[in-house]
Amino acid sequence: MIRLDSVSRVFQVGDQEVPALDSVNLAVGRGEYVSIMGPSGSGKSTLLNIIGLLDRPSSGRYFLEDRDITALTDEEEAETRRNRIGFVFQFFHLVPRMTAAQNVELPMMLGGVPPKIRAERVAAALDAMGLSDRADHRPGQLSGGQRQRVAIARATIMQPAVLLADEPTGNLDRASGAEVVHVIERLVDRGITLVVVTHDPELGGRARRRIRMVDGRVVEDSASNTASYSPTGP
């Protein structure tokens, strides 16, 4: 599903080079539930952005579903993001002037899905998130937990293969965080590949495969020292 071959990412700040990722090798199979933890600045977000095609490696190779990503055109890359990848952010990133339904509809609108199909799928997705009665509310009228659930509905509306979440509970209280975790894990049960970056040891610990990063390197990977690991889960 996801394969990184000695991927490095170096940021240029002034005339100084800041290494964010240092020769990362990683393979994630279809349907895996992976958490990435580690201190702040260890390169977790950078790794997730590269996996989500929002950023490109400075060196190394990245294969998504056996395609070499570095060879894609901008148009193909955008299409891959739209159809194969879902993103959930710490700060939700809902468009404030659009209703919940319109926000969820956005990827389908960009993909040119016919309006009738869109309406049905938006209604179903909001229903699955328990937000049917909030369809016409704007983000400003929703609680944090509700906003993140709208964002998850939007991230999954195109039925992507991979869901990437960067600190999805980082901006939520315990109760809403738990709700969001519950919603995400239900998606894993239905076969989505999930990579979640988190500071929260409780959330990180729930993942079947746990990765630890320090200074741009993977220092611990539960898959490599657990004999009972299987790509499709227990």
Partner 1 sequence: MMRITDIFRFVRNAAGGYRVRTALMLLAMAIGVASVVILTSLGEGARVYVNNEFASLGTNLLIVLPGRNETSGGPPMMVTGTSRDITTGDAMALLRHSSVRRVAPLTVGVAPVSWGGRTRECTIGGSTPDMLSIRNWKLAQGGFPAPDDPDRASPVAVIGAKIRRELFGSHSAVGEWLKIGDRRFRVTGILASEGRSMGFDVEELVLVPVASAQALFNTPSLFRVMVEAKSRDVIERARADVVSTFKLRHQGEEDVTVITQDAVLATFDKILRALTFTVGGIAAISLGVAGILIMNVMLVAVSQRTSEIGLLKALGASRRRILALFLTEAAMLSCVGGLLGLMLGYAGNQAVIWLYPAFPVTAPWWAVAAALGIALSAGLIFGAMPAWRAAKLDPVMALARR
Residue 92 C-beta: closest distance to partner 1, Å = 10
Residues within the interface to partner 1 (CB under 8 A): 49, 52, 54-55, 74-75, 77-83, 87, 89, 91, 93, 95-98, 102, 106-107, 109-112, 154, 158
Residue 45 binds ligand ADP, judged by CB under 6 A: yes
Comparison of 66 and 75: residue with beta carbon closer to partner 1: 75
Residues 112-151 close enough to bind ligand ADP by CB under 6 A? none
> By the criterion CB under 5 A, which residues form the site for Mg ion?
45
Give the CA-trace dihedral at 110, 113, 118, 121, to 10 degrees.
Answer: -100
Q: SS3 for 119?
A: helix
Q: Which of 16, 40, 73, 228 is close enough to bind ligand ADP by CB under 6 A?
A: 40
Residue 219 lies near ligand ADP (rule: CB under 6 A): no
Minimum CB separation of residue 45 from partner 1 in Å reads 8
The 3-state DSSP class for residue 58 equals coil
CB of 91 to partner 1, least distance (A): 5
Which does residue 112 bind out of partner 1, Mg ion, ligand ADP, none, counting CB within 5 to 8 angstroms by kind? partner 1
Handedness of CA 101, 107, 112, 114 (dihedral sign): negative
Closest CB to Mg ion among 45 and 176? 45
Structural contact between residues 51 and 81, judged by C-beta atoms closer than 8 angstroms: no
- Cα-based distances in Å from 38 to 14, 187, 212, 216, 221: 27, 24, 5, 10, 12
Q: Does 13 bind ligand ADP (CB under 6 A)?
A: yes
Q: Is the dihedral of CA 106, 108, 114, 118 positive or negative?
A: negative
Q: Please tell me the distance from the alpha carbon of residue 9 to that of residue 121, in angstroms, as a whole number.
A: 38
**How far apart, in whole angstroms, are the C-alpha atoms of residue 19 and residue 158?**
34
d(CA 79, CA 99): 24
Q: Are 193 and 30 in contact (CB under 8 A)?
A: yes
Residue choice 4, 7, 37, 44 for contact with ligand ADP (CB under 6 A): 44
Closer by beta carbon to ligand ADP, 46 or else 99: 46
Which of the listed partners (Mg ion, ligand ADP, partner 1, none) does 83 bind, with a CB threshold of 5 to 8 Å by partner kind? partner 1
Q: Which residues in this chain contact ligand ADP in the complex, by CB under 6 A?
A: 11, 13, 18, 20, 40-46
